[in-house]
Chain A
Amino acid sequence: MIEKIKEILANHKDISGYKIKETTIHSNELFFVKKNVDMDRAKRVHHYNLTVYVDFTEDGMNYKGSSNTDIHPTMNDTEIESAIRETAFAAKFVKNPYYPLVQPAESQQASALSAFAKESFPYWMNEITKAIYKNDIYEKGGINSCEIFLDKIETRIVNSEGVDVTDTGYRCMIEFITTWKEEGEEIELYRRIDCSDFDEELFAEEVKNMITICRERAIATSTPALKTASVILTREAVKDFFSYYYSKSNAASVYNQSSTWKVGDQLQGKEVKGDRITMTLDPFMKNSTDSESFDSEGFPLKPVKLIEDGELKRYAADTRYAYYLGVVPTGNIGNIIIESGSKTIEELKKEPYLMTTAFSDFTVDTMTGDFCGEIRLATYFDGRTTTPVTGGSVTGNINELHHELYLSRERSKDNNFEGPAMIMLKNVTVAGIAKD
């Protein structure tokens, strides 16, 4: 198909360049209700996505128009010709400043080999199932339902400059609901695990953790009306928190006015009381679904440090936005590493705190820095006793709080994120629900 698309493109003299992304996905899926399989699914699909570029000059300015379309494998020659003609026509009216396309690289580092490559998918679906249900052993609670997806994804990117790169990756996604019932209502919580390699201990432990969290929520009392508190974020909220730094340090955000960050800025302010943030992007992080040798443009990737001790050292930039801002491209990398902080978790817990374990949905607005979440489970320490609490919400703005944040020395990993296990923020607004 790629050769056919290239042949048709060659007849369109108005096209300056192109990029074709070919993806083949082979997938197996299992859907459980309690411990029983309710449905199974398999998938074998083949996708082609074409971007065409048209360079033109107007009033002395150079522009690069582009437009993008899917070319389905079931399209006949007339349909492909029509899709390319329409896409090229639209690209002529897209008036973006000129930028170069990715050039071929001499070499690219290969991605790590996944265990999923070594056996059949039915074998792995069975192994994943056994690991997930290993700790579902309690009378009062357990797994209510579970969905397991395992994909093999083969990618090839070809462009008009001679880029022709291929990679094979695996994507495992496990979504499960755990429940627990004490005297009152049955409590449930949601968890999703994403990974690219088989890790029996991770699957089994995470189920055990979620059942424990459910049990805690079942006996939790209402969150007190604290107004403000030192809040310790844990688990997925830590990863979500750093999505702000990831987004703000991206060249596209800067160019599109979503970020005002400049290289050399002290991001946490001039007077930092707590820990300073150091952030690196690593395209080869182990067991991450975002690990890849090249980005979606075919640009070869390597690790890059963006923020060091709270100072923005460089932008993350694909070829287009790097050209616009006059910086060296890094390609788009999805894996984030944050360095640890100065305090142990034990030290963070010495003063009164509200430590969040589960939110309804912890939301970080990556443009404004606003964050919020309804508390499904937290632990409140008033200086003497610790109590599991539920209800109410935590809200704040990262810009206003990150001059004093503390990162734990202990670390955690969640798919494409590796960093401190906990973050403590001071003076966070807590809307409690306790009557008194």
Chain B
Amino acid sequence: MKTVGSEFLTRSKPYVRKLIDLLSADYKYVSVLGTDTRGKVYRISKTGTEVYDAMLAERGFVVRLHNGVNYSEYSFNEIDEDKISDIVSDIKANIHKVAKDINTNEYVILEEEELTKQFFSESEVDPVSMSPEEIIRALTEIKELGCSLSELVVNFRAALSFTRVSKIFLSAKKDLEQSYTYSEASMFCVARRDERTKYYFDGFSGMKGYEVIKEMKEHCPRIVDQCITGLIAHEAFGHGVEMDMFVKGRAKGAEYMGKQVSSSITTMHDGAKAANHVSSYLFDDEGTLGSDTTIIQDGILKNGISDLLSALKLGTAPTGNGKRQSFERKAYARMTNTFFAPGTDSYEDMLASIRYGYQIEGLYSGMEDPKNWGIQCIALLGREIVDGKLTGNLISPVVMTGFVPELLQSISMVSEKVELSGGGFCGKGYKEFVKTANGGPYIKAKVRLG
């Protein structure tokens, strides 16, 4: 089923065009991104039920314009025929008011080519068409199943969220429109023995509709996943090649372009077109078409990912990675679908090759360090491996720290099948949360565990 576009954005287009025309009299570049993102979250646990709007639900606009020196932006969420002149006045009164004794960086005026395109994603079952009663019933069944797994389970939560993203991007030469739906289903289990509490969670996600619930039902519970490979890809080199960091001189990766940074059996991609997952789109939040960027090819660092203004500053081609948390926030160079490419080893051979080690699973958190290439990843669980077999002994949580090149160069085996997971959000530092998918095959690597 094709995702339906936003009626609101369609009816707002004439007002946005008029706004662009009025502003163009004073500013040489003007563009407007309009968003109308809808979505719901359903969470059913042993102790309660919640239904609320999805985290990224929003409706509004952001104007970008060249102020004669560099770029300014103005976010707003009220527009109609009568308000357009007020918006223009407010923009002129509020942007580019930097004191004269503060220096500014200069940017050239963006030159665009004529481009009109549309994209509407497909899903099996449109979640908007599902009754809340039906969704709550399905999640309640999964919750009941989870609660029945063990007497140690003190709470179990099943959740579904779906988000329908609709955006338009208009400028003098561009007229872009897209609508796509992604969905996430997740389970969260809390278990307690005496006073010791532990939890585990798992998720299913994609550029999909209500069918993610079916996937979760079929896989409840599953025992292994490849999200840690994705976390390493994301934290190790994803953030490190965000090219706004190159502009600031904050990325060590800039010095390593064309050099060996990883074992020769590793290849890594990022891009809205690199996979069909939660961060797949036609155009980014600056009106640049999405692409498939090969970041690492056979261990050699090849390319970074960039937003439009960083590319303008660096003289490189933008890769369609300019993303905003919402229309209210600035666009930065951000990851989309980031993953290691498949290898040739089987999971069974990888397991058998380990004399002593751990199979790490369950993504908890990670933190980037693009300047100094440190890495911190926290996983929920480590399964002990002795003489090529899982012993059944577990450690939790698992803290992995180290130096990125050492970790990546230690990769000695890579499995054949790639899986992506898009259940979480990615921040830039501690803010600017956007949707990304991460993944890859199983990798065998040496890492310091805390």
Contact = CB atoms under 8 A, between A and B. Distances in A.
The answer to whether A and B belong to the same complex is yes
Contacts of A92: 133
Contact of B57 (A70, A75, A257): A70
Interface on chain A toward B: helix, strand, loop, or mixed SS? strand
A335 B59 CA distance: 31
A260 B195 contact: yes
B330 A36 contact: no
A394 B80 CA distance: 56
B85 to A, nearest CB: 15
B47 interface: yes
Contacts of A75: 8
Interface string A47-81: 10100000000000000011111101111000100
A108 interface: no
Interface in A90-112: 90-96
Contact of B365 (A36, A39, A93, A363): A363
Contact of A39 (B12, B78, B330): B330
Given A40-B95, A145-B248, A188-B372, A74 B48 contact: no
B54 to A, nearest CB: 10
Most buried by A among B12, B52, B90: B52
Interface stretch (B102-110, B339-347, B350-358): B102-110
B199 A37 contact: no
Contacts of B79: 74
Interface stretch (B68-76, B295-303, B381-389): B68-76
A95 B45 CA distance: 11
A94 B72 contact: no
A435 B79 CA distance: 63
Contacts of B364: 363, 365
Nearest to A69: B53
B45 A256 contact: yes
Contact of A42 (B51, B53, B94, B136): B94
A89 B132 contact: yes
B199 A368 contact: yes
Interface residues of B, number: 77
Most buried by B among A74, A393, A399: A74
5 shortest interchain CB distances as A-B pairs: A42-B94, A393-B450, A361-B367, A90-B132, A68-B52
B442 to A, nearest CB: 24
A129 interface: yes
Given A368-B197, A374-B376, A37 B94 contact: no
Contacts of B155: 256-258
Interface string A372-409: 11101000000000000001111100010000000000
Contacts of B48: 96, 255-256
Contacts of A43: 74-76, 328
Nearest to A375: B401
B115 interface: no
Contact of A74 (B53, B77, B95, B198): B77
Given A360-B374, A360-B376, A393-B401, A91 B51 contact: yes
A33 interface: yes
B105 A94 contact: no
Contact of A46 (B78, B192, B378): B78
Contacts of B51: 66-68, 90-91, 94
Given A49-B53, A256-B45, 10 more contacts: A33-B247, A35-B102, A70-B53, A125-B97, A188-B372, A190-B429, A256-B47, A257-B46, A258-B155, A391-B374
Contacts of A370: 397
A206 B70 CA distance: 29
Nearest to B74: A42
B222 interface: no
A182 interface: no
A39 B70 contact: yes
Contacts of A363: 364-365, 378
Nearest to A179: B371
B399 A395 contact: yes
B447 to A, nearest CB: 12
A203 B404 CA distance: 33
B394 interface: no
Given A43-B75, A365-B397, A370-B397, A94 B98 contact: no
A282 interface: no
A70 B260 CA distance: 49
A74 B397 contact: no
Interface stretch (A14-22, A24-32, A340-348, A410-418): A24-32
Contact of A192 (B249, B309, B429): B429
A38 B312 CA distance: 13
Contacts of A25: 328
B105 A41 contact: no
